[in-house]
Amino acid sequence: MEKLARPSVWKIKPYIPGKPIEEVKRELGIEGEIIKLASNENPLGPSPKAIEALKRAVEEVHLYPDDTCYYLKKKLASRLGVEENMIFVGSGSVEIIHYITTAFLNPGERVIMGKPSFIMGKIESQIMEGEVVEVEAKNYTTDIDGMIKEMSERTKIVYLDNPNNPLGSMVKKEDVEKLVKSAPEDTIVVIDEAYHEYIDRTKTPDSVGYVREGRNVIVLRTFSKIYGLAGLRIGYAISKPEIIDVLNRVRLPFNVGRLSQIAALAALDDEEHVERSRKLVEKEREFLYQEFEKLEIPYIRSETNFITIDTGKDGQEVFKELQRRGVIVRPLTPYGLPTHIRITIGTHEQNIKLMEALREVL
């Protein structure tokens, strides 16, 4: 295999996703209820409008999807105030990250990103033999000044997940602006906004504004989080037409399924479901903050639907003990945070069960 595979492959530590409920039940022989608070899914599920649309469309799965995602692009463009040729739709924003590095990154060119940040940016860059430069976070927030210092004419991509995954913290508007305006002319700034809909509207950076200005910026968003369509794998990018054209040249045909497109269209129309999901997270986030403070558990204030805490113990062991009690969370050892775990904010009932299990374990 060492001779067959590309050398860059051996440098990669594969992405380890949160375990599904079925796998945990199988592994541990648990018969009772298991709650999954590991992958930042919406505990309220998908929009009822999306479910109804899927029911109506399920008998059409023998047909190929619309390769251009015409209607979804049209609706997204209208909402965002951009042209339809500034939208790219992918099988989750992860697939779009793959296309970005495939289309733009040459061997030896630099990719600058925070540490920690969403790990797929690093993995995809390694596949393409890019030089990954990770800049340590300061006070659990991405160090923008540190990223700017690392920029050079060899820098092809700057990746910023904002809010940050797995920290949950967010870079301020003025710092995002400083990063974008400091990037060299031939550098692409990727702003991954998977948790955009959870952000306090008074704090939200206008990342799409940089696209409208014609800058080399790609904004990533997803239907996996607040819209509750993680299982259908659909996300999108907003960028200037020239960048979208390049991405389309490496895109696989029919990369977004028919049902995924139909569900996303319906979900966009259900603003009531989005607002209900946002309010649940705001209320339960405050509840969990109070519970962590009672137990004197350090936590990072979050702009997302998850909270990262410092257990003060081996996070992998805490993860295993919680699993045995029917609660799945995310250990952050792969992100260089060996005592931290990331917890998705669930319903009130789920959060109560989480805290009961956490008290026992800690």
Q: What is the per-residue pLDDT for 83?
A: 98
Q: How far apart are CA 195 and CA 305, in angstroms?
A: 8
Q: What is the per-residue pLDDT for 139?
A: 96
Q: What is the per-residue pLDDT for 27?
A: 81
What are the pLDDT digits (tens) for 186-239?
Answer: 999 999 999 999 998 788 889 999 999 999 999 999 999 999 999 999 999 999
Q: What is the per-residue pLDDT for 229?
A: 98
Q: Is residue 247 a contact partner of residue 220, using CB atoms and an 8 Å limit?
A: no
Q: What is the per-residue pLDDT for 168?
A: 97
* pTM of the full structure: 0.95
Report DSSP letters for 257-314, one per residue.
Answer: -HHHHHHHHHHHT-HHHHHHHHHHHHHHHHHHHHHHHHTT--B---SSSEEEEE-SS-
Q: What is the per-residue pLDDT for 16?
A: 78
* pLDDT range class, residue 22, cuts 50, 70, 90: confident
Q: How far apart are CA 224 and CA 77, in angstroms?
A: 19
- SS3 state of residue 30: coil
Is domain 7-45+272-361 classified as CATH 3.90.1150.10? yes
Query: Residue 2 pLDDT more than 90?
Result: no
Identify any residues that bridge with 235 across adjacent strands, giving them in sequence order.
Answer: 90, 222
Identify any residues that bridge with 161 across adjacent strands, giving them in sequence order.
Answer: 192
Q: What is the per-residue pLDDT for 201?
A: 77
Query: Which burial class, exposed, middle or buried, applies to 261 when counting CB atoms under 10 A from its CB (0-12, 13-18, 19+)?
Result: buried
Range(s) of the chain covered by CATH 3.40.640.10:
62-268
Q: What is the per-residue pLDDT for 99?
A: 98
Query: Residue 19 pLDDT more than 80?
Result: no
Residue 151, number of CB atoms within 10 A of its CB: 17
Range(s) of the chain covered by CATH 3.90.1150.10:
7-45+272-361
User: Which listed CATH number (3.40.50.360, 3.40.30.10, 3.40.640.10, 3.40.50.720) goes with 62-268?
Assistant: 3.40.640.10
* pLDDT range class, residue 32, cuts 50, 70, 90: confident
Q: Is residue 103 a contact partner of residue 135, using CB atoms and an 8 Å limit?
A: no
Torsion of CA 354, 357, 361, 362, to 10 degrees: 50
What are the pLDDT digits (tens) for 255-280?
Answer: 999 999 999 999 999 999 999 999 99
Average pLDDT, the chain: 96
Q: What is the per-residue pLDDT for 78?
A: 97
- Please give the average per-residue pLDDT across 122-136, as a whole number: 96
* pLDDT range class, residue 23, cuts 50, 70, 90: confident
Identify any residues that bridge with 256 across adjacent strands, giving them in sequence order.
Answer: none
Query: Residue 314 pLDDT more than 90?
Result: yes
- Please give the average per-residue pLDDT across 73-79, as a whole number: 98
